[in-house]
């Protein structure tokens, strides 16, 4: 089943991304993406965040990543 390749697919056909009882499958879901594509998109977002100046980076991490500055250290951007 192709819907099982979606990053949000859970056992029993449940969807982690949508509040639906059953997975609609790739043809009926605008959230469908593979785990590999999800990782590519996350990498692209991190590249964008790391390209920002430091105050903006810190603000984004504070607001959207619960202030976890160690995320920048893991990416090798902070001392």
What pTM was estimated for this model as a whole?
Answer: 0.67
Instruction: Please indicate, yes or no, whether residues 40 and 29 belong to a single structural domain of this protein.
Output: no
Whole-number percent of the chain with pLDDT over 90 = 14
pLDDT in tens, 38-68: 999 988 988 898 899 989 988 888 888 877 7
CA dihedral (19, 24, 30, 32) positive or negative: positive
Instruction: Please indicate, yes or no, whether residues 45 and 58 belong to a single structural domain of this protein.
Output: yes
Range of the structural domain that residue 61 is part of: 36-79
Q: Considering its fold, how many domains does the chain have in total? A: 2
Q: Do 47 and 76 touch, CB atoms closer than 8 A?
A: no
Contacts of 34 (CB under 8 A, 6+ apart): 5, 6, 7
Q: What's the chain's average pLDDT?
A: 80
Instruction: Please indicate, yes or no, whether residues 48 and 20 belong to a single structural domain of this protein.
Output: no
Closest CA to 48 of 64, 24, 32, 36: 64
Q: How confident is the model at residue 25 (pLDDT cuts 50, 70, 90)?
A: confident
């Amino acid at each position: 089943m192709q819907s099982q390749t979606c990053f949000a697919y859970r056992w029993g056909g449940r969807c982690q991304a949508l509040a639906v009882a059953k997975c609609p499958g790739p043809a009926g879901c605008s959230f469908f993406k593979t785990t590999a594509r999800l990782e590519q998109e996350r990498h692209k977002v991190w590249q964008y965040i790391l390209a920002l100046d430091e105050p903006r980076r810190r603000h984004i991490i504070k607001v959207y990543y619960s202030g976890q500055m160690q995320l920048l250290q893991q990416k090798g951007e902070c001392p």
